[in-house]
Amino acid sequence: MTRTFLGMPATAPPGVGHLRGDEPFPAAARRALADPQLRRNLGHATGTIRGKSAAVIDEVPDWPQLRAAGAAIKADVMARLPDLLVQLEAAVTAAGGVVHWAPDAVEANRIVTGLVAATGADRVIKVKSMVTQEIGLNEALSAAGITPVETDLAELIVQLGEDRPSHILVPAIHRNRAEIREIFLRAMPGVDPGLTDEPAALAAAARRYLRQTFLSTPVAVSGANFAVAETGTLAVVESEGNGRMCLTLPRTLITVMGVEKVIPTWRDLEVFLQLLPRASTGERMNPYTSMWTGVTPGDGPQEFHLVLLDNGRSAVLADPVGRPALHCIRCSACLNVCPVYERTGGHAYGSVYPGPIGAVLSPQLTGVADNASLPYASTLCGACYDACPVMIDIPSILVHLRAEAPHPRAESTAMAAAAYTMDHPTLYAAAQRAARLSRLAGQRGRGLPPPLSGWTASRDLPDPPAQTFREWWAAR
């Protein structure tokens, strides 16, 4: 590494990439909740994936042991991340690749844009990748006159729709097939105007368009699911084969990966390649697993660059409670089981990382002040923790981040007063009586001031009892 950080590690810089929303979660959620088509699409899609995933997980007798192994490997990785990255760099370099270190999104975009420009290409094909969405690489390439073409079907739908991804694995989950047909008819070059909304017809239209692009584009950009430190091997798992096209056809391959994706040994893959497909798509095995080590003369890309991205990850690593958020393997099981995500969808989270994992990852990458509403975007129901294939205790991290978040002054005052009252039983009993009297004066709580009006907008308050329990007990 060429840079030395002094003091606290930096968070992801503002003004670049997609980790921060334009408005707090409650406001964005409110708009999403008002869209019945979105509610229907999400409910149907997450319900289907949940069912598929649960069925194939049930088939694996040692699933709990696999989860524990996945968690243990990731904890080990985080404990010696710098050493593993240096080992990875050496192995990739020895295999003919070039390794670049990017402290943040700005630097990563500069590196990739420069590498593409040096090839003379004005277009790149892209493998579906969360990290390039995180850093806003497409915008950076476009600004440099380079056209990025998303080749994952769902990412293509999002790109053609001038939309944003709303799910880690299924970026167009908020769209149904009728909407996809409309997007293709509007924006896909050379599309058949007689296109129907049959899934096979939509897939065929995308295939026709993408095949030409694959064959005529000399540079590809990918992310990585895993990077093996001991061998320098990169791995991408996918379902469509479009990633395989990108990883094998072009002359130049540029891979951007978050530093947390490194794993120590080849053998560690056996754990994650069992966990990931069952937890994410509900498949026993993902259809395409592409692995490559540097360059092979005469076979595949002849130039390979690996960009190692920090962008706030060192700051996450520095927090012992929040650190397990880096264990995430981007399966999105937590999104699919989250009752909040199922109703609001991903855009409400403002970041490319939505759902429960996004609510713990995004605020840590940006600094919690920049995403202060996200740790509260959960009922702490715990479904995410149960579903996570690497056992990230998301509810505990949410509670931890809530304690770190800036609090509204009125709330802090009220909370301090409530705690003081609760710690003085005489005051507490007086407060109980006062609450009862004020409630008797109101109409089942209607007309309460904010924030309590949030309750009574949709729910009655119960009638106040004639006696509190402790009054009843004392009179017994």
Partner 1 sequence: MRIALFVTCLADTVFPQAAKATVRLLERLGHEVVFPAGQTCCGQMHVNTGYPGEAVPLVRRYARTFDPYDVVVAPSGSCVGSVRHQHAWVARRAGDERLASRAESVAARTYELSELLVDVLGVTDVGAYFPHRVTYHPTCHSLRSLRVGDRPARLLRAVRGLTLVELPAAEQCCGFGGTFAVKNADTSTAMLADKMRHVLSTGAEVCTAGDVSCLMHIGGGLSRLRAGVRTVHLAEILASTEEAV
Report which DSSP code applies to 13: P
Distances (CA, A) of 105 to 110, 195, 455: 8, 39, 41
To partner 1, the closest distance from the beta carbon of 401 in angstroms equals 8
Q: In angstroms, rounded to a whole number, what is the distance separating the alpha carbons of residues 155 and 127?
A: 9
Which one, of 352, 332, 408, 400, lies nearest residue 21 by Cα? 352
Which are the contacts of 211, defined by CB distance < 8 A and separation ≥ 6? Answer: none
**How would DSSP label each residue in 122-150?**
SEEEE---HHHHHHTHHHHHHHTT-EEEE
Quick check: 130 and 154 in contact, CB under 8 A? no
E strands, 43-196, are 98-102, 123-126, 147-150
To partner 1, the closest distance from the beta carbon of 260 in angstroms equals 25
To partner 1, the closest distance from the beta carbon of 173 in angstroms equals 17
Q: Is 204 left (phi over 0), alpha (psi -120 to 50) or beta?
A: alpha
To partner 1, the closest distance from the beta carbon of 23 in angstroms equals 13
14/26 with CB nearer partner 1? 26
Please give the residue ranges that form the binding site for partner 1 (CB under 8 A): 25-26, 29-30, 33, 39, 339-340, 343-344, 375-383, 385-386, 396, 399, 402-405, 407, 411-412, 415-416, 418-419, 422-423, 425, 428, 432, 435-436, 451-452, 454-455, 457-462, 464-465, 467-470, 472-473
277/356 with CB nearer partner 1? 356
To partner 1, the closest distance from the beta carbon of 179 in angstroms equals 21
36/297 with CB nearer partner 1? 36
Quick check: 53 and 389 in contact, CB under 8 A? no
270/386 with CB nearer partner 1? 386
267/470 with CB nearer partner 1? 470
Which are the contacts of 390, defined by CB distance < 8 A and separation ≥ 6? Answer: 67, 70, 71, 74, 275, 327, 328, 329
Count CB atoms within 10 A of the CB of residue 311: 27
To partner 1, the closest distance from the beta carbon of 472 in angstroms equals 6
* 309 strand-pairing partners: 102, 258
To partner 1, the closest distance from the beta carbon of 21 in angstroms equals 14
Percent helix / strand / coil, the chain, rounded to 5: 55, 10, 35
To partner 1, the closest distance from the beta carbon of 393 in angstroms equals 10
Q: Quick one: CA torsion of 180, 184, 185, 187, rounded to 10 degrees?
A: 130
Report the alpha-carbon angle 119-125-128, nearest 5: 135
To partner 1, the closest distance from the beta carbon of 461 in angstroms equals 6
108/397 with CB nearer partner 1? 397
To partner 1, the closest distance from the beta carbon of 133 in angstroms equals 24
Which are the contacts of 407, defined by CB distance < 8 A and separation ≥ 6? Answer: 415
Quick check: 148 and 142 in contact, CB under 8 A? yes
195/461 with CB nearer partner 1? 461
46/311 with CB nearer partner 1? 46
82/451 with CB nearer partner 1? 451
Which one, of 225, 164, 153, lies nearest residue 353 by Cα? 164
185/380 with CB nearer partner 1? 380
